[in-house]
């Protein structure tokens, strides 16, 4: 056989193999054996904990336990380009050349393992035909905004509802109480007996202020025989600075407010109290929720910021202080 004929046959073999792979055809037995003995065990050991359908929490939207998953890639795009290891994100990640893209994160692969991955990608990423893996808690469901919006109560349009019929119509004339009483009656239950005035005041004060009423406040309420005594009590509690101090705590918990950083050194968070006081003032001033959130996200860009009620400085910008909160890790890395 002439050298020219041998060269043509070799070229045809390589070209046809590449064409079959591109067209979804079978890989050679040798390529599949290389994948099963060198690549799949490597992926299972180093990658599947975070990048498989069995992962407890999928990282970066990337599946590496199927060929379609590898080709599709994750949040940053396709993980490989078959036949082009030098242009593949997976190879760049394991080479640790980019400090922002290093996988596996805890330890770099050996030189031999990286070369195996490069060879696998340059060969077209051989993978046997197999059923798609099933999820077990780590899969990321597609976010369907339309279905979420259609099914969630908060997006449904406001509609007037007629008050339900109740047996004990004398229990309360308030429309909201009718719905509560209707559910109680459906369950065969009866409302609790009305609390006596001292207990009622104590419960209400704890709910709105987080503190018990003083003896003078108790006596004043007990002595008030007017028909709107309860309304006056509620107004007084809502008008008190203690109301904002009580209810601001729920928001401060949400944004992880603390006046020090935590961790072993527990450094103080400078001026954290200014954000705390800002939240308290916002609750006591009845700032609308949409404005309150806007000030948190971009309080420095509000065209007409709110002003401090006494010192007249920019109040809205203080909302951005929540970005500064939270635990800091003080390790040198």
What are the residue ranges of helices labelled H in the chain? 3-22, 29-34, 40-46, 67-72, 89-95, 111-122, 145-151, 175-186, 197-209, 215-223, 229-239, 241-254, 272-284, 289-298
Q: Do the beta carbons of residue 56 and residue 138 sit within 8 Å? A: yes
Q: How far apart are CA 210 and CA 246, in angstroms?
A: 6
Interhelix angle for 241-254 vs 197-209, to 10°? 50
Q: What is the pLDDT along the chain (333 residues), one digit of tens a residue?
A: 454 444 444 443 444 444 344 434 578 988 899 999 999 999 989 898 889 888 888 888 899 889 999 999 888 889 889 989 888 889 898 898 888 888 888 889 899 999 998 999 999 999 998 888 876 554 555 677 888 888 888 888 888 889 999 999 899 989 999 999 999 999 999 999 999 999 999 999 999 999 999 999 999 999 999 999 999 999 999 999 999 999 999 999 999 999 988 877 788 888 999 999 999 999 999 999 999 999 999 999 999 999 998 999 999 999 999 998 876 666 655
> What is the pLDDT at residue 220?
97
Length of the chain in residues, anyone?
333
> What is the pLDDT at residue 330?
62
Please state, in angstroms and as integers, the Cα–Cα distance from residue 198 to each residue in 107, 228, 272, following that order.
66, 16, 38
> What is the pLDDT at residue 245?
97
Characterise 260 by phi-psi region: left (phi > 0), alpha (psi -120 to 50), beta (else).
beta
| Residue 247, C-beta contacts closer than 8 angstroms, at least 6 positions apart | 208, 283
Going by the DSSP 8-state scheme, the letter that residue 86 receives in this structure is G
Q: Number of C-alpha atoms within 13 angstroms, CB side, residue 32?
A: 10
> What is the pLDDT at residue 307?
95
> What is the pLDDT at residue 135?
65
| Residue 59, C-beta contacts closer than 8 angstroms, at least 6 positions apart | 50, 51
> What is the pLDDT at residue 141?
58
pTM of the model: 0.53
> What is the pLDDT at residue 215?
97
């Amino acid at each position: 056989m002439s050298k020219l004929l041998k060269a043509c046959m070799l070229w045809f073999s390589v070209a046809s193999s590449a064409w079959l792979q591109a067209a979804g055809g079978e890989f050679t037995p040798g390529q599949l054996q290389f994948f099963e003995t060198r690549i799949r065990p490597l992926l299972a050991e180093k990658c599947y904990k975070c990048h498989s359908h069995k992962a407890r929490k999928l990282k970066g939207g990337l599946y590496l336990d199927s060929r379609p998953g590898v080709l599709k890639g994750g949040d940053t795009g396709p993980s490989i380009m078959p036949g082009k290891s030098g242009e593949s994100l997976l190879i760049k990640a394991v080479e640790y050349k980019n400090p922002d893209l290093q996988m596996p994160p805890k330890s770099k692969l050996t030189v031999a393992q990286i070369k195996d991955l490069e060879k696998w990608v340059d060969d077209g990423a051989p993978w046997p035909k197999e059923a798609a893996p099933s999820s077990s808690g780590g899969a990321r469901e597609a976010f369907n905004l339309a279905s979420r919006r259609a099914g969630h109560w908060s997006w449904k349009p406001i509609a007037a509802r007629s008050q339900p019929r109740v047996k004990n119509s004398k229990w309360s004339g308030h429309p909201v109480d009718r719905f509560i009483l209707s559910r109680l009656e459906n369950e065969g239950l009866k409302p609790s007996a009305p609390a006596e005035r001292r207990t009622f005041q104590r419960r209400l004060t704890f709910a709105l202020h987080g503190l018990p009423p003083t003896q003078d406040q108790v006596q004043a309420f007990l002595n008030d025989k007017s028909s709107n005594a309860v309304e006056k009590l509620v107004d007084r509690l809502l008008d008190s600075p203690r109301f904002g101090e009580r209810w601001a705590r729920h928001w401060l918990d949400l944004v992880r407010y603390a006046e020090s950083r935590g961790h072993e050194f527990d450094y103080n968070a400078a001026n954290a109290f200014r954000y705390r006081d800002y939240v308290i003032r916002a609750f006591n001033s009845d700032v609308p929720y949409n404005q309150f959130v806007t000030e948190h996200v971009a309080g420095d860009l509000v065209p007409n910021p709110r002003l401090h009620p006494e010192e007249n400085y920019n109040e809205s910008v203080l909302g951005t202080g929540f970005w500064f909160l939270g635990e800091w890790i003080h390790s040198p890395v």
